[in-house]
A and B are shown apart, each in its own frame.
Chain A
């Protein structure tokens, strides 16, 4: 069975600084990988996804993620954080048809200092 680990429960970053969120997965086949963001009081919104091709994936809101098969990782990055990026971030691995059945990590809550 697949699993996802997000080692950092909380991260505090200053506005304008760079951000990197870690995600490690376990899955026997080629993974479908996703990053979602949940702003306070909101549902989840997809930031980006990866299945194949270029291992550096661009998403919305200036985020990108890099798939590293050798490290079983799919880390999310943003060069310069804005106050509106304060939210909880979830990494997920998809199994089944087109990666439809998702397994989520525990989430990383990002706080942004002015």
Chain B
């Protein structure tokens, strides 16, 4: 069974703090993704990575950066947290070895509140 874990379920940070959200997957997946989930907006892709040290911007990358130093770990970084980054953050992973259509496996999410 694929397992995607996220370092915290709940996080409270102050405006201007640097915030790290960590995601680890245990299935040797090449692809990893960070989304934010807001009511009525569904999930929006922030960044994704197809390989170690590779990253690509998603639809809403502003105010975020990512790091992928090891295949199993993908970190989302908020350089200077702001209140409009209060949200639920979901990590996902997938592998092109799955075949024709690639399923993404999701972690439980981190609910971040910036005050």
B41 and A100 contact, CB distance less than 8 A: no
Residues of A in contact (CB 8 Å), total 30
Contact A44 B90 (CB under 8 A): yes
Q: Which A residues are in CB contact (< 8 Å) with B103?
A: 34, 46, 49
Given A44-B90, A90-B42, A32 contacting B108 (CB threshold 8 A): no
Instruction: Count residues on chain B whose CB falls below 8 Å from chain A CBs.
Output: 27
A97 part of interface (Cβ distance < 8 Å): yes
Interface-facing stretch out of A11-19, A67-75, A104-112: A104-112
Contact with B along A91-104 (1 / 0, CB 8 A): 01010011111111
* Interface check A114, CB cutoff 8 A: no
A residues lining the B interface (CB < 8 Å): 4, 6, 9, 32, 34, 36, 41-46, 49-52, 90, 92, 94, 97-107
